[in-house]
């Protein structure tokens, strides 16, 4: 069963409508986007404006919805992704 708001189709999760957590919480170096700032390509309905286009960074295409990452709510996804960003930040001291 998919978390609240996520669509499970052919055993693959689809993005939660109105979420956009993966376009806000992580940094995207190829766009000089710092963490916790909405991506310049995030649309008003929280979708990627360059989804499926060649200028979409590989790091974005590699980040796929998952039960662990998306959680039950948009807020849970933001928390999980923020923790991932902090854990993988360059210069992080373990």
The predicted-structure confidence for 3-37, as pLDDT tens digits, reads as follows: 555 555 555 678 889 999 999 999 999 999 999 99
Q: What is the pLDDT of residue 6?
A: 57
The predicted-structure confidence for 33-45, as pLDDT tens digits, reads as follows: 999 999 999 999 9
- DSSP secondary structure of 16-55: PTT--GGGTSS-BGGGTBPTTS--TTB-TTS-BTTTTSTT
| Higher-pLDDT residue of 39, 91 | 39
End-to-end CA distance of the chain: 35
Q: Would you state the torsion angle of the CA atoms of residues 45, 88, 7, 19, taken in this order, to the nearest 10 degrees?
A: -20
The predicted-structure confidence for 37-82, as pLDDT tens digits, reads as follows: 999 999 999 999 999 899 999 999 888 888 899 999 999 999 999 9
């Amino acid at each position: 069963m998919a978390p609240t708001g996520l669509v499970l189709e052919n055993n693959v999760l689809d993005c939660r409508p109105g979420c956009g957590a993966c376009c806000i919480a992580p940094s995207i170096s190829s766009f000089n986007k710092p963490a916790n700032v909405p991506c310049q390509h995030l649309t008003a309905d929280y979708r990627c404006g360059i989804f499926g286009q060649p200028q979409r960074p590989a790091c974005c295409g590699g980040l796929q919805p998952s039960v662990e990452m998306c959680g039950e709510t948009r807020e849970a996804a933001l928390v999980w992704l923020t923790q991932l960003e902090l854990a993988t930040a360059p210069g992080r001291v373990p």
